Structure formats: C-alpha cells, structure tokens
Amino acid sequence: MLLRHAWVGLAAWLPVSLPAQVTESPRTVAPGRVLVRIDGLKLTFDRADAAGNTYDAIGVASTTLRAGLTEMVDLQVGLDFFVKETVRFRGARDSDSGLGDVSFRTKWTFWRDDKSGAAAAVMPYVRFPTGSSAVGSKAVEGGVIVPWAMDAGAGFRAGAMFQWDVVRNDADNGYDAHWFVSGFAVRDLSQAFAVYGETTAEIPSTGFSNSAATMGAGVLWRFSKNLVFDYELQRGLGDRAPAWTHIWRANWEW
C-alpha cells in the first residue's frame, strides 16, 4: 500500500498558489474558475533488494479537475487515466496496467491572513474502486488532508501538510490507517522560474517498520499567467519507498 500511496500544487500573480508536487496548497481556486492539473508522466523506479525483487510504475495523464465555488471552497475530481505496475519477485515478472480510480475532494480554506500570506485548509476526500482491478483500489477509501502555507520573506514560501488515510489492507479483509506528513520550501529565481525542495514521510498502522519517506527537489516554469510546468525528482529513503520518482506536471487554469 505504501507503494500505491507513492503513486499518489507560489506566485502572487497566479490565481492559485502552486507550492510543490505532493504538498497541497491551502488556497482554493477562485470562484467561477477551473484548474486542470495533469501529471503528464510519472515514473517510479524501485531499488532491488537482496533477492533482486523490484517494483516499477508508470502513470500517464493523472488528472485533477478543480472548480472554485466561493472564495473559500472548491470541488475536485481526480482520475488516473493510465497506470502500469511491474513487479519482479524471485525471478518472476508480473506486469499489470489499466485505468486508475476516481476520487472526489473538496477544499475549505478555514483560515487566511492576507497580510502575512498565510493560510490553512481542510480537504476531506473519498476514492472509489472504479479502475482496473489489477492496478486500482479494492474498496472505497478516504481520508482528510490539512495543508498550511505562509510567505517566509526574501522570495521564499514554505508550507506543510498532514494527511490521514483509511485504506484497504493487503489481505482485503479490513482497513488500515496511514498517517502522512510533508513539507516544502520554494524560492523565486525570476518572474518565470522558481525552485523548491520537498520532504515526505508516511507511517501506517501496521507498524513503524513499514514506514516510508522521500526527499525531492523541483523546478517551476511559469510559461504564462495561466499555465505552469513543474518537474520534481524524488529520492526514496528506506526500503519501503521507491528509489527514484520522476514527475512532469502541467497546471492550466482558465
């Protein structure tokens, strides 16, 4: 499940703040506007263990559609259009691919201080097992996300996120809880470019030995007022996290 979770956004002139790849922004899409976030390509490569076992994954066009309802609330729909997972275990190779699951979320910015550039939000979500059985969830899953961010001065912006998930266990006979935290710091280099660093950590209810963490760095390119491109390279820490993850993302708002 940790691998599946890993499979799972700065500029004042942009309607929506885009902090990093994993950590959510506490700010909502403006009323009457729509934001489309597309992970054009996501590649996950696992390190081989002592027995040579590995896990690799490819995601194409993982998309989130976000619509602003009020100054403080937006609605979001997400879908993984194509997912391929390859497992090599004890010399055998098994590869599955197909459509991913559909998720529904809403974001409420319950606190905002425009003077300091700080904000916090709460985001309940639910994911339905609509995807291909081999790569999708086995049951309805859900959770709550709480993101926070602030202007740190000197062109820096920082933030963090806490997430609590209820996910189907590997035995498919119940649910496990997962606690996930992440943080980022982003720095403007110019009006068009920014760089950021991001860390994540996840601990499941099955025990600390199954926890995973990542460290990453990325670059944002503001191609236009409404279109931003984003690339991040993540390095897994510990045996439970994928070794490397590459993500190419586009954020388009109208």
pLDDT in the model for residue 41: 85
State the pLDDT at residue 108.
98
CA distance 36 to 150: 23
What is the pLDDT, as a whole number, of residue 229? 95
Q: CATH number of the domain that 196 lies in? A: 2.40.160.40
Q: Is residue 234 within 8 Å of residue 214, measured between CB atoms?
A: yes
Beta carbons within 8 Å of 171's beta carbon, 6+ residues apart = none
State residue 220's pLDDT score. 95
Longest dimension (CA), the chain: 59
pLDDT value at position 184?
96
Cα–Cα nearest to 145, from 8, 31, 37: 8
pTM: 0.85
Tokens 């790849």 appear where?
21
> Contact 58/17 with Cβ under 8 angstroms?
no
Amino acid at 206: T
Q: In angstroms, rounded to a whole number, what is the distance separating the alpha carbons of residues 65 and 85?
A: 24
Query: How would you write the pLDDT of the chain (254 residues) with one tens digit per residue?
Result: 444 444 333 333 334 455 678 999 999 999 999 999 998 888 888 766 656 677 788 888 889 999 999 999 999 999 988 888 887 776 677 787 888 889 999 999 999 998 889 999 999 999 999 876 667 788 999 999 999 999 998 889 999 999 999 999 888 889 999 999 999 999 999 999 999 999 999 999 988 888 999 999 999 999 998 999 999 999 999 878 888 899 999 999 88
Determine the pLDDT at residue 1: 40
Q: What is the rounded distance in angstroms from the CA atom of residue 220 to the CA atom of residue 113?
A: 25
pLDDT at 116 (0 to 100): 86
**Structural domain boundaries, residue 212:** 2-253
Return the pLDDT at 37.
Answer: 92
Count of structural domains within the chain: 1
